[in-house]
Homo-oligomer: A and B are copies of this chain.
Amino acid sequence: NSVVQPLLTDLYQVTMAYAYWKTGKMEDKAVFDLFFRKNPFRGEFAIFAGLGECVKFLNNFRFSCSDIAYLQEILPNVDQGFWEYLSQLDASQVVTMSAIPEGYVVFPKVPLIRLEGPLPVIQLLETTFLNLINYASLVATNAARFRITAGDGVQLLEFGLRRAQGPDGGLSASKYCYIGGFDGTSNVLAGKLFGIPVRGTHAHAFVNSFSSLDDELQVNPEAVLPQQPKLSFCQLAMSWLTKISPILNILEHETNKGELKAFLAYAYAFPRTCLCLLDTYSVIKLNLNICIFPFMDIKLGYPIIYTLDTQGIVVILHSLIYFTGLVTNCWNTQGTTFRVECCNGRNNSSLNFYTLMCYCFPHRSGLPNFLAVALALNEYGYRAIGVRLDSGDLAYLSRKCREAFVLIADQFESPWMKKFTVVASNDINEETLISLKEQKHEINSFGIGTHLVTCQKQPALGCVFKLVEVNGEPRMKLSEDVGKINLPGKKSVFRLYSEDGLAILDLIQLCSEKPPEVGKKILVRHPFIESKRAYVCPYKVELLYRDYWGNNGLTQSFPSLQELKKTASDSLKTLRQDIKRELNPTPYKVSVTNEMYNFLHELWLKYAPIGELS
């Protein structure tokens, strides 16, 4: 990305660099830690991502002549010598970087990246590193959470480009969602640049663009076809529609013929990969004089829906709203003799006067149309793939679709139809996934956009970058609450595992300490609460840091996106289920050695001046 360059930083990094330079501190050897303080999304883990981009940035860190000229313009009273220093600066030559491998599960307070080098140089890296790590890790974590919630049996597709925060936000989202556990994206450029599988079929506009049914499409049958169909593609579909309508309990004229034409056109263009979007048209029942009173049934907490049907009969309908905002298909009539089944609703808790003014029965138009096209296509030797639902009660509709697939498959001895894919999209978040699971959905694939890429639940991770050592002396920022105190000094981190391969805890210690040993009992401590201590005897010990950048450049070959995806998946497997669950997860333990504990607390007391009470 061409905008990832030294000037993609906060001005104060440059003014600080100058003040360091001006006061003779440009060769001070500094150690900075990059870490976050709180897990995102009310969870107890995060996925570390963005490291590869940081390495690229480090490798290219040089100020251009136009950069220097611009800085001279905005900082007019700075010594010329500083501009010479900056223009000769090559961060890749003077910086050392250790980090946890990209894709690992990581936890608060544990430094993800440790950077060493001249104080002004590391300072100049801060903002860009934070920018590159913060969103990447946040969205990878979000994707991992969606994956955990959805389970391994379904396909997850990232559909967020249009709602992402700018072009690069969209690309980053595609990339890091893939690492975090998604199977593909709708973003073509992400496919081209990163090799991520790309998916997509058609939108509502496609269906809308067709209005009438004509008979122009001549499908070329697959070569292997035993016998040529006698009817045209369109006639075939119409004849199938006539056959299946009574089985699906709909009236043939209820299906929209523009939609049928659109499905035929799509099948004609993509006979081998036909997947149709079902919910463009609705069969409207009670389509006159419908109004909704904007008051709530206090007892039930449901909005009351009041309507007049075409005969002027009063119908009162209840629409149940889940805590997630999904409206179910539960309608009950009161004071009349008939029941109306309906499914509709938006993932929107502010149900107002307009909401639900017309009622959508996509399985009454889209579904029969699709099945007719699929059966026609079959006669030409092609198998359709499935359907997409983009509105309404996805659990209910997916079950209705599956029922219809099975019904038609059995009726016409076409067992392959039972396995049609159901793709669902439309404002899906973690809660929706949980709710859909509880309702035993029949969805095979989810297309997830806004909530995934904008990380609606928590749109920023809040990584920080703190000075922990200058010229071998530890540094500590004391102000404010303990949650914000950083662990001073140059540190190592080990992950200790139990015999079953699960991670027990992360242990932070000083670099000067001996690493923990397999089979040897060690005392581990909470960094701030004196009484929280435990002995642990690790079955396996892993040094979390790898050296990514030495004075001679990249010291590790950088993994491919596929490898990063596997790293994330493997790393998540080492985490106990209760740490990963959505509701009240157990915190993972981040501990320090006894030596680190004492070092930290002595330094704390040393730095903290003693006040006087008056």
Contact = CB atoms under 8 A, between A and B. Distances in A.
Nearest to A357: B482
B11 A131 contact: no
Interface string A109-138: 000000000010001001110111011100
A405 interface: no
A8 to B, nearest CB: 5
A25 B135 contact: no
Interface string A354-373: 11111010100000000000
A358 B169 contact: no
B460 A187 contact: no
Interface stretch (A159-167, A235-243, A294-302, A547-555): A159-167
A299 to B, nearest CB: 25
Given A285-B613, A450-B462, A477-B204, A8 B186 contact: no
**Which of A135, A172, A272 has most B Cβ within 10 Å?**
A135
Nearest to A171: B3
A77 interface: yes
B74 A167 contact: no
A477 to B, nearest CB: 6
B22 A268 contact: yes
Contact of A268 (B23, B119, B173): B23
A270 to B, nearest CB: 7
A30 interface: yes
A188 B285 contact: no
Given A169-B169, A189-B7, A209-B470, A479 B200 contact: no
Contact of A189 (B5, B191, B284): B5
A292 B560 CA distance: 47
A577 interface: no
A2 B2 contact: yes
Chain copies in the assembly?
A: 2
Nearest to A42: B350
Contact of A454 (B128, B211, B459, B470): B459
A134 B162 contact: yes
A192 B19 CA distance: 22
A410 interface: no
Interface in A153-196: 159, 161-173, 186-189, 191-192
A283 B611 contact: yes
A202 B19 contact: yes
Interface stretch (A250-258, A498-506, A510-518): A250-258
A483 interface: yes
Contact of A199 (B11, B127, B473, B477): B11
Given A186-B11, A208-B475, A450-B462, A270 B611 contact: no
Contacts of A354: 481-483, 528
A464 to B, nearest CB: 9
Given A354-B528, A456-B460, A479 B279 contact: yes
Contact of A4 (B126, B167, B391): B167
A335 interface: no
B613 A309 contact: yes
A70 interface: yes
Interface in A244-301: 251, 253-254, 256, 265-266, 268-270, 272-273, 279-287
A1 B168 contact: yes
Interface string A323-351: 00000000000000010100010100000
Contact of A358 (B191, B254, B478): B478
Contacts of A152: none
A14 interface: yes
Contact of A70 (B191, B216, B465): B191
B481 A346 contact: yes
Contact of A265 (B19, B282, B392, B467): B19
| Size bracket, chain A contacts | 35 or more
**Which of A32, A163, A165, A200 has most B Cβ within 10 Å?**
A165
B192 A164 contact: no
Interface string A1-34: 1111101111111111011101111001010100
A161 B392 CA distance: 38
A201 interface: yes
A7 B192 contact: yes
Contacts of A127: 161-162
Nearest to A278: B479
A169 to B, nearest CB: 4
Contacts of A481: 344, 346, 354-358
Given A8-B167, A164-B135, A282 B23 contact: no
Given A67-B192, A269-B23, A460-B450, A609 B256 contact: yes
5 closest Cβ contacts across the A-B interface? A168-B168, A11-B200, A12-B200, A454-B459, A19-B269
10 contacts: A9-B161, A32-B205, A67-B192, A74-B198, A130-B162, A131-B167, A163-B462, A281-B478, A282-B479, A352-B483
Given A24-B216, A454-B454, 8 more contacts: A2-B2, A4-B167, A14-B200, A123-B206, A168-B169, A280-B478, A354-B481, A358-B481
Interface of A: 1-5, 7-16, 18-20, 22-25, 28, 30, 32, 66-67, 70-71, 74, 77, 119, 123, 126-128, 130-132, 134-136, 139, 159, 161-173, 186-189, 191-192, 198-206, 208-209, 211, 216-217, 251, 253-254, 256, 265-266, 268-270, 272-273, 279-287, 309-310, 338, 340, 344, 346, 352, 354-358, 360, 362, 391-392, 450, 454-456, 459-463, 465-467, 470, 473, 475-485, 528, 605, 608-613
